[in-house]
A and B are shown apart, each in its own frame.
Chain A
Amino acid sequence: MIDQQLRQILTDVLGLKPGQADGFTAETGLFGHLPELDSMAVAGLLTEIEDRLDILIDEDELDGELLESYGNLLSFCEKKLD
């Protein structure tokens, strides 16, 4: 459920074709691997995640690891919703 929502958000932010994000694995790199994800885009991505998952991401939680891979981002969101 969260997995699907997160893939949809990345699809919308990265302008991916439908289904393309289905290929993301836990190891798929995000920040630093996708050139279009600069700080402004990451800020937009986080805001969209907050809006759609109805969570609040604290600034202290924004470390390098959070966006290192798709798996890290997913497990972070899952923990937030627990």
Chain B
Amino acid sequence: MTNLLQYIEWMWDVRAEGALTADRGRAHRLLLVPALFDEANKLRRFSVEVMRHLDSKGIDSLLPDLPGCNESMAALASQSSSAWRAAMTAVAAQWGATHMLAIRGGALVAPALPGWALAPVKGASVLRQMLRARVLAAREAGRDESSEALLAAGMTAGLELAGYTLSSTFIKEFHNLEVEISSAITIIEQSTLGGPGLWLRAEPGEDPAQTAALASRICEGLAA
């Protein structure tokens, strides 16, 4: 069986958004909610490799772009976490997802479907790291900034962090956002995949053993 990954479009708001899919019309259809911001880049290959594994095990999967991210033509500055959750809910319905796998911060905007959350993270932690990166870059350039002052300014006027333009609405919502884990969601701790999280890497990397371990966990869960 050949691996068949394709780009498809789905409708959100007034435009088409993209998604990568492995779809052979099978019973189990898994929506992957991508990691956020920089971690999305570092985990993209990992996510796609998980899709290939799932495909070979008889499970369809879909990896959509969050509006304003990756190939999306929507403006990131007009997004919010509640809009992202609504978009993920819409794509899940349009594609007919039966389960979902939320990766890292993706768990913060995941739709209400049964499934898994891989190493979920709080909104405040994601923001904190981006704020810190901005403060460090500013210091290198000889400017003195502080996370606290940046966050306060961002809550009223929006903020650019690590190249991402975020609205004040986004920052206000996201700062207090925590993952809601229902009984239908199983948390997968990174330590159970047999290696350190690839989002930690300074340069994107891959780890076939981790990919296989994650795909197996999902297959076992679906068979149970």
Contacts and interface: CB of A to CB of B under 8 A. Distances in A.
> Bound pair: A and B?
yes
Interface of A: 11-15, 34, 36-48, 59, 62, 64
B82 interface: no
Interface of B: 38, 125, 128-130, 132-137, 139-140, 146-147, 162, 196-197, 199-203, 205
Contact of A39 (B136, B197, B200, B205): B136
Contacts of B132: 43, 46-47, 59, 62
B136 A44 contact: no
Majority secondary structure, B binding face: helix
A37 B202 contact: yes
Given A15-B203, A59-B147, 19 more contacts: A11-B196, A12-B200, A14-B201, A14-B202, A15-B202, A36-B203, A38-B202, A39-B136, A39-B140, A40-B38, A40-B162, A41-B202, A42-B136, A43-B132, A44-B199, A45-B202, A46-B132, A59-B146, A62-B132
B203 to A, nearest CB: 5
A62 B134 CA distance: 13
Contacts of A46: 132
Nearest to B134: A39
16 contacts: A12-B201, A13-B200, A13-B202, A14-B201, A15-B202, A36-B202, A37-B202, A39-B134, A39-B137, A41-B202, A43-B130, A44-B199, A44-B200, A47-B125, A59-B146, A62-B136
Majority secondary structure, A binding face: helix
